[in-house]
Amino acid sequence: MVVVMAQEATESDIQAVVSLVETAGGEAFVSRGVERTIIGLVGDVQQFASLNLRGMGGVSDVIRISAPYKLVSRENHAERSVVRVGGVPIGPGTMTLIAGPCAVETPEQTLQAAQMARAAGATLLRGGAFKPRTSPYAFQGLGEAGLKILADVRAETGMPIVTEVVDAHDVELIAGYADMLQIGTRNAQNFALLQAAGESGMPVLLKRGMSGTIEEWLMAAEYIAQRGNLDIVLCERGIRTFEKATRNTLDISAVPVAQRLGHLPVIVDPSHSGGSRDLVLPLTRAAIAVGADGVIIDVHPHPETALCDGPQALVDGDLRELARVVRELPPLVGRRLTESADEPVPA
């Protein structure tokens, strides 16, 4: 932490800051410049934060240098992490495709979507049984009946399941069926839910809040990590901007930034970013090129009758190109498509 003194600060203002920091058990290093003096603090940052240094005479600014998130930060964890979901790795060296329907609707629709996903190269199946809808009149998901369908489809296809949890009270129920809990953009700052997901010990897919900064996203991850769970994958799914031509604005630069600041894997959701089928492949290419650790994509056997997000779902005709993109592009950036559970992670 650095205390920047105002130009008009007096020697006694400087000494007052030094004494307060030393009384709190820290060390203060005074550096006198031509224009102004700055004081570098070494010690317990949390304790310094409680000293109200900003309110002291002659203090112009207090700047925090270390990240406010600790457990997910790369400061104390230089290596980037690999998170395994039912054995399937997500992390550096690999590019993992997660695909499936936006929502679980029927056993047939879910199985067909899973087969489409697998044909394209997906190793993990997505599908919401509990849907966080903006409108209370929209389809809210099948609930536990949907979880049972997902479990049946996993038994049939062998694909581990990623499914959303929208309420802390449902974590235990969903953890009984799922391989990874998804926390959506609308719940990115539902702290009770983040803590409950942390306590479940299950891998968590944490989407970025639609109006959340990268720091807020990492702080949300810290809530999960603080409960002893570091199996967290971050997902950039587009943010809200003035642009209306796309459903959300894919913040592609958030991927390398979040990877530099944190050690957690970062994936991209091109379906919920672009919001339309024709954008999914271009945004998938962008995600792979920028170094994403994976992508999560909506597919549906009959998008025209889908109960949720049909316009952005890929159909059979798109799968050949998706399969090509996820196999051919990753090697150009030093990665390869994850092919199966339990495969070793490249060094």
Applying CB under 6 A, the residues found at the interface with ligand PEP are: 102, 128, 132, 184-186, 207, 237, 269, 272
Say which entry of ligand PEP, Mn ion, none residue 247 contacts (CB below 5 to 8 A, set by partner kind). none
Which pair of tokens denotes residue 240?
């809200």
Least distance to ligand PEP, CB of residue 102, Å: 5
To the nearest whole angstrom, how small is the minimum distance from the Cβ of residue 252 to ligand PEP?
Answer: 16
Which DSSP letter does residue 314 get? Answer: B
Which residue from 190, 289, 258, 156 is spatially nearest to 182, judged by alpha carbons? 190
Distance of CA 91 to the CA centre of its chain: 12
Spatial distance between the Cα atoms of 98 and 269, rounded to a whole number of angstroms = 9
Query: Could you tell which of ligand PEP, Mn ion, none binds residue 290, using a CB distance below 5 to 8 A set by kind?
Result: none
Nearer to ligand PEP, 58 or 146 (CB): 146
Closest contact distance (angstroms) between CB of 48 and ligand PEP is 36
Q: For residue 52, what are the contacts with CB-CB under 8 A and spacing of at least 6?
A: none
CA angle 95, 81, 119 (to 5 degrees): 20
Containing H/E element for 163?
strand 161-164
Minimum CB separation of residue 90 from ligand PEP in Å reads 16
Spatial distance between the Cα atoms of 319 and 228, rounded to a whole number of angstroms: 38
Residue 277 binds which entry of ligand PEP, Mn ion, none, with Cβ cut-offs from 5 to 8 Å by kind?
none
**Contacts with Mn ion, residue ranges (CB under 5 A):** 102, 309
Of 37 and 112, nearer to Mn ion (C-beta) is 112
The residue among 198 and 238 lying less far from ligand PEP, judged by its C-beta, is 238
- Choose from Mn ion, ligand PEP, none: what does 184 bind? Cβ within 5-8 Å by kind: ligand PEP
- From the list Mn ion, ligand PEP, none, which binds 207 (C-beta under 5 to 8 Å, kind-based)? ligand PEP
* Cα separation values, 268 from 7, 205, 261, Å: 46, 11, 17
Supply the minimum distance, in Å, between the C-beta of residue 246 and ligand PEP. Answer: 13
Taking a C-beta distance cutoff of 8 angstroms, is the pair 99, 299 a contact?
Answer: yes
Considering beta carbons, is residue 207 or 335 the nearer one to ligand PEP?
A: 207
Our CB check for Mn ion shows the closer of 171 and 299 to be 299
Please state the φ and ψ torsions of residue 107, each to the nearest 5 degrees.
-60, -40
